[in-house]
Chain A
């Protein structure tokens, strides 16, 4: 069937050095790296980019380049690091527009190093983590047991704890918080962001936790405003599948404990169960109710172009897939 020897899913990985092996071949010892660092000092006024030439040495990390600069070229450079071994989560920066741990990322021949986004900059590469700390404290990320401790060993299987266990790999470096496009929109929504949700998931996805407490926490997360873009997963240095193993399981908990927060998800499920496929008009009407009228001009434009079909929507027309959907999902909107 396949007549060409190419994996179209990965085009660009070789030619754009998207693998560690490819990246390691790009530099020779002693070569000069062009490093550009975003400097910021509120008292001195404003931000500026400063260029440095840094000699490459074998296995050089972004952190080594920063250390070289601080020792040889800019002794006042402000940046944070502690363990140097992907544990403490303090050294995350943006390198060429991508969030990385300085201590765990290979240098590139030409690098622009900037502070994380979505957090106030204190100086140079130092960001103020307190907005994250405050959000997290609001979510009460701890375990409360509604029943007495049953004694050791606890009756938990690896399946019961598998999602919480993934979330426990989090080192709170805030790379995901910086990469999240919804957080990037500021206070437009009440979305808590990936890092607070992963921290919450460590206990909220633990079956021993008190469901009522978990429900109260989830109500404050705005979790259904996650756009599922996987930017958080892409930058996570701990390789946590943030969307699939944390945010989606938390959404499932929210939908069962506080159904009113999951109107959109439940409406889609009910429409698919009844008709087999999504009717976009029906979805919007069910989710927005009368609010949908605000968009009447667009509704008319869509209708004029044949993009929506009110007859199908209002007659609740079934598709040839309706029988299978109804049988497999059941009637109504509860899973």
Chain B
């Protein structure tokens, strides 16, 4: 099974451990990843707001690179996923926009016809690997590990993209955690916002919002949190010291990237999954599951 793989900016800078872990886990799962090195940033939230044409062009270019390779696209970041999904939808709906983007892409011999299937790693596990096959690949069931799933926003909202009346009803991460042997816990932050997208100019919002989520995860007995988004991870993990200072208590909440949780159950070591690159120490998890 082969994918055009788009890691995004975060997994190649602040969350480079996510990219490494994804490659390791993909190899275990028999996924061949064709990494799109010449793909640009999808524009985060900023480009799409102030320069929609530039935003659509960069994203359709990513889709066109995958289409040229004849492969479905796999993403590992919520915001990138929604960006390419939105750009694909706009491309398909607006013929004028589609023509003007293709005219720009033609300068480098690229063309998009609207055929690329877009899939986040979380969805690939269900749709391409399959839950039963994944279960059979688990060599180290993560028994005893209580997990607080943190979805983030852009993998479950907006409603016109994913169809949820109430995005809190998403259970994809909890079901997956159970397959890996974990015990998912319920808490108030599951589908709430981490505040990442305004943190570069004012991180107080991210610190206040995410503080509530980690506190709730801790109060409900989570030994670790897990997220499918490196942007959420940055706030949950890299900002945790500032969050602790803000609320005046210790949290010590390890936060795993989704491929790291899967990788642990597939028998990869914490070194291979680069748990050492996290800001909050993850040794407690390793000793709980004997990794």
> Which chain A residues have a beta carbon within 8 Å of chain B's beta carbons?
1-4, 6-13, 15-20, 97-98, 181-182, 185, 188-189, 224-231, 233-234, 239, 241, 243-244, 247-248, 251-252, 255-256, 262-269, 272, 276-280, 283-284, 287-288, 297-298, 301-302, 305-309, 320-321, 323-325, 327-329, 335
In the assembled complex, the CB of A6 is this many whole angstroms from the nearest CB of chain B, namely 5
A268-B128 in contact given A8-B123, A15-B171 (Cβ < 8 Å): no
- Tell yes or no: B54 within 8 A of A by CB: yes
Q: Are B54 and A279 in contact (CB under 8 A)?
A: no
In the assembled complex, the CB of A33 is this many whole angstroms from the nearest CB of chain B, namely 18
Q: Are B126 and A265 in contact (CB under 8 A)?
A: no
Q: How far is the CA of A192 from the CA of B158 in the complex (A)?
A: 21
A228-B197 in contact given A10-B162, A265-B50, A307-B13 (Cβ < 8 Å): yes
Chain B residue contacts of A248, Cβ below 8 A: 48-49, 52
Q: Are A325 and B127 in contact (CB under 8 A)?
A: no
20 extra A-B contacts, CB within 8 A, seeds A20-B165, A234-B164: A1-B117, A12-B171, A13-B164, A98-B166, A225-B202, A228-B153, A231-B193, A248-B52, A252-B52, A255-B49, A255-B50, A264-B200, A265-B46, A268-B43, A269-B46, A269-B50, A280-B10, A307-B279, A308-B14, A321-B40
Q: Are A269 and B198 in contact (CB under 8 A)?
A: no
Q: How far is the CA of A335 from the CA of B50 in the complex (A)?
A: 7
- Tell yes or no: B192 within 8 A of A by CB: yes
Q: How far is the CA of A16 from the CA of B198 in the complex (A)?
A: 32
Q: Mark B183-204, 1 if CB is under 8 A from A, else 0.
A: 0000000001101111011101
Q: Indicate the member of B14, B167, B238 with the most A CB atoms within 10 Å.
A: B14
In the assembled complex, the CB of A106 is this many whole angstroms from the nearest CB of chain B, namely 10
A8-B195 in contact given A13-B163, A248-B48 (Cβ < 8 Å): no
- Chain B interface bracket (under 10, 10 to 19, 20 to 34, 35 or more): 35 or more
Q: Are B38 and A321 in contact (CB under 8 A)?
A: yes
Q: Which residue of B lies closest to A301 (CB)?
A: B279
Q: How far is the CA of A325 from the CA of B205 in the complex (A)?
A: 30
Q: Which residue of B lies closest to A306 (CB)?
A: B277
A269-B47 in contact given A277-B9, A320-B38 (Cβ < 8 Å): yes
Q: How far is the CA of A327 from the CA of B106 in the complex (A)?
A: 12
Q: Are B44 and A307 in contact (CB under 8 A)?
A: no
Q: Indicate the member of A225, A231, A234, A280 with the most B CB atoms within 10 Å.
A: A234
In the assembled complex, the CB of A186 is this many whole angstroms from the nearest CB of chain B, namely 10
Chain A residue contacts of B196, Cβ below 8 A: 227
10 pairs, A vs B, C-beta closer than 8 Å: A8-B172, A17-B169, A19-B165, A225-B202, A239-B160, A241-B158, A255-B50, A264-B198, A277-B12, A321-B40
Q: Are B169 and A8 in contact (CB under 8 A)?
A: no
Looking at the complex, which one of A252, A276, A307 makes contact with B277 (CB distance below 8 Å)?
Answer: A307
- Tell yes or no: B248 within 8 A of A by CB: no
A11-B40 in contact given A305-B279, A307-B14, A328-B104 (Cβ < 8 Å): no
- Tell yes or no: B159 within 8 A of A by CB: yes
- Tell yes or no: B108 within 8 A of A by CB: yes
Chain B residue contacts of A329, Cβ below 8 A: 51, 54, 58
* CB under 8 Å from chain A, chain B span 196-246: 196-198, 200-202, 204-205, 208-209, 238-239, 241-242
